[in-house]
Structure 1
């Protein structure tokens, strides 16, 4: 039986507070972990995993980091292309996030998604000192509402999975501030730089490291845009993001096709 998703949860087990316990980190997942849309001046993406790695590296000069995440990947692709690589690297810390791309699609076998997550966690947990799983944030709105039952099933299962494998569970979905539209980029699919900063802080705290900010802090009250501004934004979103996304779904293409991981090897942070 699934446990209902409620408010922001505490980790299923408390992580060690000794920073030296995290001398190496491998991130596994899709665009959320790759770092879209936290754009850097050179056109690359940073994101919460890079931010977390930089903070861990500041505590340990020997820290090493790999990020295997690739945008657009479904959970089967993550399981087939990233999990064994991450396990073979035997890092201290692994984050596994995936499945949301699957449940956003019109036809999705949630049971199969959960089974692939189960298999991935079972392969990763023995290969690291600490496995971190997440209930990912979701922009509140009509698109999310249409697939909400599948999301809830997935997030309930992630909680059960964390318990079974002794993983840390970071519940970003239940943090109201991360559902705020102002935390999301123009494509309405990826977090803004501030959103990524808050996720990095959430994982940092879940690892038992000293809080540096209140990641659930609400944004100031929003002023509702006028009708014309809202319709203009909706039309721009449809033209620039929604229609291309639908086109890729209809043709079986993905933004990640042929794209290598951003950091395929476990290397020192200063070698980035």
Structure 2
């Protein structure tokens, strides 16, 4: 039980992080923090149905337009909403507009009777130093997420300002997606916010220290990241393409959750 609450239908809305990119692959299957969270929720009582509507590359407006109607049709008693990062890294970012789409989803889902949880974003400039100009955007969006969540009784998993969440060992080489350890930490953060049995604040504890990289190695790492990830991303933007083109949700319907530790059915 979770504060006397037993969940029967959990629906996850969002983009690539919620889809599980970085935790597995498109051949063997994606797991991700939402799948990991579903497994924890399922422990609290039998019969949990879980749908993951997230699709990589989606903006907050697209998540609202494409996923919210389907989520409401599922009649969730638990929902997670994580979106905005794909807006934040675009030139024409408007924090108020993005937060408006998030708040509309908060309002609709809570009005339907669901308990809703969301998350704030860590400092991406600490993950990718070249992204330092985006730091004020992260702060602005997080401030609005907290305010909107407060107005609708939405739970917030707070990751902003936690050095542990910007540790490179939690992130993939592209620095945009969490790796398996990062997805586990995010799942644990949500479990803590939801007060699930056994959840605590250990997810926010830092990993053991690593020696500082040699300056030349650090420069080489940045140049490799630009060539391998940043350059192709910019090219896609200029071409008007997205990593989510022609993709659909991996788990569009409520399906039973199995405690396998492997990608859930419908997760590929």
TM norm structure 1: 0.88
How far residue 166 of structure 1 moved from its aligned partner, in angstroms, is: 0.8
How far residue 39 of structure 1 moved from its aligned partner, in angstroms, is: 1.3
Q: CA RMSD of the aligned region, Å?
A: 1.9
Indicate which of 238, 241, 244 corresponds to 1:256. 244
Distance 1:45 1:119 in 2: 28
The 5 Å alignment of 1:1-272 reads 16-18=2-4, 21-39=6-24, 42-139=27-124, 140=126, 141-212=128-199, 214-270=202-258, 272=265
User: Hey, which bits of structure 1, 4+ residues long, moved more than 3 A?
Assistant: 40-43
Distance 1:47 1:268 in 2: 17
Q: What SS does the corresponding residue of 1:225 show, helix, strand or coil?
A: coil
Deviation larger for 134-143 or 116-125: 134-143
How far residue 40 of structure 1 moved from its aligned partner, in angstroms, is: 5.2
Distance 1:266 1:138 in 2: 34
Counterparts in 2 of 1:267 and 1:44: CA distance versus 1, 3 Å = same
TM norm structure 2: 0.89
Q: What SS does the corresponding residue of 1:85 show, helix, strand or coil?
A: helix
Q: Which ranges of structure 1 fall in alignment gaps of 5 or more residues?
A: 1-14
Q: What SS does the corresponding residue of 1:236 show, helix, strand or coil?
A: helix
How far residue 225 of structure 1 moved from its aligned partner, in angstroms, is: 2.0
Counterparts in 2 of 1:212 and 1:134: CA distance versus 1, 3 Å = closer
Distance 1:16 1:53 in 2: 13
Aligned residue pairs total 257
How far residue 17 of structure 1 moved from its aligned partner, in angstroms, is: 2.2
Q: Which ranges of structure 2 fall in alignment gaps of 5 or more residues?
A: 259-263
